Amino acid sequence: DATAELPLLEQARAHALQFAGELPNFIVNQTVTRYIQTPNTRTWELVDTLEIELSYRIGKGEVFKLLRVNGKPAAQTYEELGGSTSTGEFGSILAGLFWHETKAEFTDIKRETYRGTATVVYGFNVKPANSKTRISDKDSGQQTVAGYSGSVWIDTESKRVLRMEDSADEIPAGFPVSLSENAIEYDWATIAGERYLVPIRAEVLMGRDSQKV
């Protein structure tokens, strides 16, 4: 395997670009808990809890089916849902960072034990001109593309990304969403008798100047 002779970062890139293609067809139930903090609240207040059926199909990616909201059958689709939502955790976010056309600039930051595993942490930066990260504001129907920066934790043994954090940079002035941050954790899971590295937890933080969140 010629990949094994590459530097750690390049091995991680190869695995990330193969990531979506390695996953089989599967269906999982996803629970999303959404909170909000406004100028009138000092703590995060629970908005709702969503139960989602997430289907993954080879070549098609993720399909989201909203099943229940606060335990009650959903009266709308996931796409029609108001508030903050996210997609891409099952491949496109991670692969997008490592696409050559993204021209991400990586910096070796430190060695760190993450969840009991030896990792190397790399910082990264992606310019808006090369970014595919799209931020949408459902209230106004506006969309924009922003650059982003963050860190990835790469397992020194498996050469896989175990965690990715990113924050949108250079969001255009006047765009309703002024803050967009993501964190995704990956771990091994058994699907149809085979082990795959899949997202097990994701956090999304979005802010609006109008609400000073």
Average pLDDT over residues 114-123: 97
Amino acid at 199: P
Look up the pTM and report it. 0.83
Residue 4 burial (CB < 10 Å; 0-12/13-18/19+)? Answer: exposed
Owner of token pair 């590459």:
6
**Which of the two residues, 140 and 157, has the higher pLDDT score?**
157
Smallest CA-to-CA distance from 155 within 203, 201, 188 is with: 188
Q: Are 35 and 55 in contact (CB under 8 A)?
A: no
Alpha-carbon span 78 to 85, nearest angstrom: 8
pLDDT at 138 over 50: yes
Determine the pLDDT at residue 213: 39
pLDDT at 77 over 80: yes
Determine the pLDDT at residue 92: 73
Alpha-carbon span 166 to 35, nearest angstrom: 20
Average pLDDT over residues 44-65: 84
pLDDT at 101 over 70: yes
Average pLDDT over residues 56-80: 85
pLDDT at 90 over 70: no
Alpha-carbon span 23 to 188, nearest angstrom: 12
Q: Are 199 and 89 in contact (CB under 8 A)?
A: yes
Determine the pLDDT at residue 2: 63
- DSSP letters spanning the chain: -GGGGS-HHHHHHHHHHHHHHHPPPEEEEEEEEEEE--TT-SS-EEEEEEEEEEEEETTTEEEEEEEEETTEE-SS-TTT--S-----TTTHHHHHHH-GGG--EEEEEEEEEETTEEEEEEEEEE-GGG---EEEETTTTEEEE-EEEEEEEEETTT--EEEEEEEEE-PPTT-SEEEEEEEEEEEEEEETTEEEEEEEEEEEEEEETTTT-
165-197 pLDDT, tens per residue? 999 988 888 888 888 999 999 999 888 788 888
Where residue 38 falls among pLDDT bands split at 50, 70, 90? confident
User: Percent of the chain, pLDDT > 90?
Assistant: 39
